[in-house]
A and B are shown apart, each in its own frame.
Chain A
Amino acid sequence: MRDVISAPASGLDLGREYGHHQSPAIRAGGLIFCSGMVAVNPETGEREHGTVTSEARRIFENLKLLLESAGSSLDRIVQVHAMIYDRIEYDVLNRIYRQYVPDAPPARTVMSVQIEAGFKIMLDVIAAA
C-alpha cells in the first residue's frame, strides 16, 4: 500500500510550482516519507529566502501542515536529515530546531551540502503515520 500525500496548500506543490518531479510525501508501511522541504510560502509558492532561522521556521510550519493533513504531526517525526549550506550555522540551526521538537526529538543527521535555489536549509523527514 503506497499512498501519495498531496500538498495541503497549493504553494507546497513543488512539482507544479517548480517542476520538481516528486510527490510532497508518500505514506507506506506505517511511515510517511516527505520530500526535502525548503522555505516556500504555502499559499503562493514563492521562495522565502532568509536566514537559517527564518527558513527553518517556515519549513517547520509547512511540515506541520503537511504531516497533520496526513494524520501525523511534528511529534511523530522519526528521523530528520537536516541539510545546511554551511556547517558554521550548526548552532543557529539547533536553536530554532529545538523549539519545534522540544521533547524526545527525532533521530537526526546534519550535513553541509548545496541546496537548490540558494536556500540555506532543507529538511528531509520520515514520520510515523
Chain B
Amino acid sequence: MTLFRQVIEPGNPAVDPSRKFNLPLSPAVRGGDFVFLSAMAAIDPATGERAHGTMAAETRQILTNMGALLEAVGSSLANVVKVNVLIYSMLEYENMNAVYREFFPTDPPARTVCGVKLIGGHKVEIECVALA
C-alpha cells in the first residue's frame, strides 16, 4: 500500500524558511489524513525576515502564520490535533500560554511544551499535526 504524500508550498513564499534560509525542509507535508508542519519560528510575512520579539509577540506571529499556512492547504487551526511548543525557558510558559489560548478558543489540540535551546535567536518555535 502506498500512502499519498505531498509537499505543501505555502501561499506566501516569504514565510517559507527553506527558501529564505536555505534549509533542507518542507514547511508542510501531507501524508495520509494528516498535514505535518515543520517547526515555525516568528517570521515577518511581508519580508520573510526573522521577527524577534517578546514571547507573546513571537507566539502571536507564529500562530498567525500557521493559520495562514494551514488554510492555504484547505485545513485550519481548528483542525489541528497535536501541537509541540518549544520555548527557550520554561519561566516564560505563561507568556506563551496566554497568547496561545486566543488562537484555539474551544476544544484545543493535545499539546506538549518543553524548554530547549533554539536556533536563530528565537524564543519560541511551534510545530503541529493537523487533519488535512
CA of A25 to CA of B108, assembled, Å: 10
Instruction: Decide: A23 near B110, CB < 8 A? Known: A2-B81, A28-B131.
Output: yes
Chain A: minimal CB distance from B66 (Å):
15
CA of A33 to CA of B115, assembled, Å: 20
A33 near B90 with CB under 8 A, answer no
B110 near A25 with CB under 8 A, answer yes
Residues of chain A with a CB closer than 8 A to B67's CB:
none
A35-61 vs B, Cβ < 8 Å mask (1 yes, 0 no): 110000000000000000000000000
Does A102 belong to the interface (CB within 8 Å)?
Answer: no
Contact of B97 among A20, A34, A83, A114 (CB under 8 A): A20
A115 near B111 with CB under 8 A, answer no
B109 near A113 with CB under 8 A, answer no
A116 near B97 with CB under 8 A, answer no
B112 near A114 with CB under 8 A, answer no
CA of A24 to CA of B97, assembled, Å: 16
Residues of chain A with a CB closer than 8 A to B7's CB:
none
Residues of chain B with a CB closer than 8 A to A23's CB:
107-110
A21 near B108 with CB under 8 A, answer yes
A113 near B108 with CB under 8 A, answer no
With CB as the reference atom, state the residue of chain A lying closest to B89. A114
B111 near A21 with CB under 8 A, answer yes
By a beta-carbon cutoff of 8 Å, the part of chain B in contact with chain A is: 32-34, 79, 81-84, 89-90, 93-94, 97, 100-101, 104, 107-116, 129, 131
The 8 closest A-B pairs by CB, nearest first: A114-B115, A36-B112, A29-B33, A22-B111, A33-B82, A21-B101, A113-B114, A35-B110
